[in-house]
Every structure is written in C-alpha cells, then in structure tokens.
C-alpha cells in the first residue's frame, strides 16, 4: 500500500453555511453517485494551492431536513471527487452551562440516537465492520485547533455530540437525560455522516458551533429557529475564517493519516471474495475500491 496522499479538503457546511469565501477557480458541478442524488451540486475550488470541495449539507436555501439527507450519496460523491479529509461544520445545542452560544466544540465522540436513516454503504453481498471507537480524526482535529488560533473563537477540544433524529427539538425529559449521559452538545446531522466517512476511509472532524442551550436550561426558553439563526449569523463568519486557515494546514498532510482513518477497511470486509455480489462490488468501487481491487 502506498503511504503517500494528495490531500483534498471537503467541507460540509451545515445550517447557516451555504457557501464559502476566498475560493479561486470556483465551479459548481453535480457529481453523480450510485447511491442517488447529493444534497446539491458541489462547489469545487482552491484556497491557495489546496483543492477544496464544498457541499451545503441541506442544499442551498436549506431545502432538505436531517432525516431526508442522502448521507450515502454525499459521502460517496465526495470520495469520487478525491476528497481525503472532511471538515463538518454544524449548528448544535449546548447541554452544558460552560459551553454557551458562540462556543465551537471540536467533538470527539458521538451517541447515535437516530433511527430512520441508512447507516452503511455495505449490505447483503458485501459485509464489512469498521471500528468507530474513535469516530473522528485526531490529525484533522489538530489542524482545526491550529486554524482557530488568532481568530476570535472560543474553541474547546473534545466533547460528545448526541445525534437525535429530529426534526423537532428535544423534550425537556430527553434533554435532561442526555445531560445525565454525559453528552455535551446535541444536533441532528453528524450521524450517519461520520460512520459513512469512516467506511469510505475519509478523515472526518466536526466543528460544532453552539447556537442555544437546548431546553434543559432553567434561564433559557425553549429552542426556536429564530434564536438559532441569530447566533448562526455571528458564527458563520467565524467558520469561514476557520476554513480559510485550515486549508494550508491540510496541504501538509502528504502521508496517509497516522490515526488509521484512511485505512479503516484494511481488515473490515467479512465476505469472502468468491461470495461477494458483483453488483455490490461495482457500487462500492469508490468507497472501497482500494481494498476490493486487490
Ligand atoms: C437550524 S437548527 C437545526 C438544524 O441545524 C443543525 O444542522 P447542521 O448540523 O447541518 O448545522 C441541526 O443538526 C439541525 O439539522
Ligand atoms: N438544541 C438543538 N437540538 C438539536 N439540533 C440543534 N441544532 C441547533 N440547536 C439544536
């Protein structure tokens, strides 16, 4: 296996981040995937010398709700576009007093409470099990932390993101329960996105931008979209600064990720070569081509 790597930075922009500044050679193009339609066209460009591919997660104009996102098409098409590293930018509610609105949390764990989403590229005819013990990339996380230096951002490294199905916000009982579980922030989108990025051997880091205190906080009213959007307007500018700073740092990632994200399928495929469904093998040519072609 070659240990060299030509980094391509993928950015999945969440609520409030539907485009990014400072890209040159910009072109919006549709990338087709055997898993169906992506959320929108991808925005291809460069920041300095670094190739960048941007996808607004909910589509421009925010048309697709969390449960209807085609996560598999998005990740497969990013892989087909050569993306090696995904920076996910998300709006979240805070489950902790000391993570007030405006804080950026570089989360490192997830509790996946979603139940109405397809969560794997693999299925009958091609079975695989990847590790999700460490669901985000530490090398990309280091780059996020460095990129925040010099920007006026309160950033916290580490935290557990509870992924709820939505689209309604939590009940008070749920919000209190998630706090008891030790979760730090809550949102609706990072799963199965992070699982699929791992299956596709793409490094994944999530910057979760706190927009509200969810409903558990005695001094704050129930979450409303108005409130979330108001904080997002402030956060989106900071997120753009972060994106601009992280591109040259990702350019330096010329070797395969030492954390193992880019080799996650190495020992993951269970189905013996003679039992594999050829149609599945073809469908997974981008996601798993590295290990299936041998
Ligand atoms: C607009 S508040 C709820 C909405 O925002 C978050 O989305 P994203 O992670 O794409 O920023 C949250 O998960 C909900 O989908
Ligand atoms: N409180 C909250 N719950 C779920 N998703 C969110 N996105 C932003 N705030 C949120």
Q: What is the ipTM of this complex?
A: 0.99
pLDDT band at 1 (very low <50, low <70, confident <90, very high): low
Q: Is 235 in the pocket of ligand 2 (CB under 6 A)?
A: no
In this structure, the residue with its CA closest to atom 2 of ligand 2 is 93
- 159 three-state secondary structure: coil
Rounded to two decimals, the pTM is: 0.97
pLDDT band at 293 (very low <50, low <70, confident <90, very high): confident
**CA pair distance 47, 157, nearest whole angstrom:** 25
Query: Any binding-site annotation on 253?
Result: no
Predicted local distance difference test score (pLDDT) of residue 2: 61
In this structure, the residue with its CA closest to atom 6 of ligand 1 is 91
Domains recognised in the chain with CATH numbers: 9-293 (3.40.50.1580)
| Per-residue pLDDT tens digits for 38-96 | 999 999 999 999 999 999 999 999 999 999 999 999 999 999 999 999 999 999 999 99
Predicted local distance difference test score (pLDDT) of residue 294: 72
Q: Does 27 have pLDDT greater than 80?
A: yes
| Per-residue pLDDT tens digits for 112-171 | 999 999 999 999 999 999 999 999 999 999 999 999 998 999 999 999 999 999 999 999
214 is known as an active-site residue? yes
212 is known as an active-site residue? yes
In order, the DSSP letters of 34-69 are: TT---SS-EEEEEETTEEEEEEETTTTTT-S-GGG-
């Amino acid at each position: 296996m070659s240990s060299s790597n030509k980094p391509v930075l993928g950015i999945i922009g969440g609520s409030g981040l539907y485009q990014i500044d400072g890209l040159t050679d910009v072109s919006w193009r549709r990338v087709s995937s055997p898993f169906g339609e992506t959320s929108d066209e991808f925005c291809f460009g460069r920041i300095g010398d670094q190739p960048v591919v941007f996808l607004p997660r909910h589509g421009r104009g925010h048309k697709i709700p969390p449960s209807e996102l085609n996560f598999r098409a998005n990740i497969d098409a990013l892989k087909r576009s050569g993306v090696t590293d995904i920076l996910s930018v998300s709006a979240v509610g805070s489950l902790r007093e000391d993570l007030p609105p405006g804080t950026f949390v570089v989360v490192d764990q997830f509790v996946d409470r979603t139940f109405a989403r397809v969560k794997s590229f693999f299925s009958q005819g091609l079975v695989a099990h990847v590790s999700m013990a460490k669901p985000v990339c530490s090398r990309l996380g280091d780059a996020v932390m460095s990129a925040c230096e010099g920007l006026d951002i309160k950033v916290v490294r580490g935290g557990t993101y509870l992924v709820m199905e939505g689209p309604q916000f939590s009940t008070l009982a749920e919000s209190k329960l998630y706090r008891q579980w030790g979760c730090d922030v809550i949102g609706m989108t990072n799963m199965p996105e992070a699982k699929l990025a791992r299956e596709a051997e793409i490094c994944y880091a999530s910057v979760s931008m706190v927009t509200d205190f969810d409903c558990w906080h005695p001094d704050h009213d129930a979450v409303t979209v108005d409130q979330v959007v108001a904080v997002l307007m402030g956060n989106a500018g900071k997120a753009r600064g972060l994106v601009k700073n992280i591109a040259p740092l990702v350019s330096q990632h010329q070797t395969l990720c030492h954390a193992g994200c880019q080799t996650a399928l190495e020992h993951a495929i269970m189905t013996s070569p003679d039992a594999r469904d050829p149609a599945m093998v073809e469908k997974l040519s981008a996601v798993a081509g590295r290990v299936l072609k041998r």
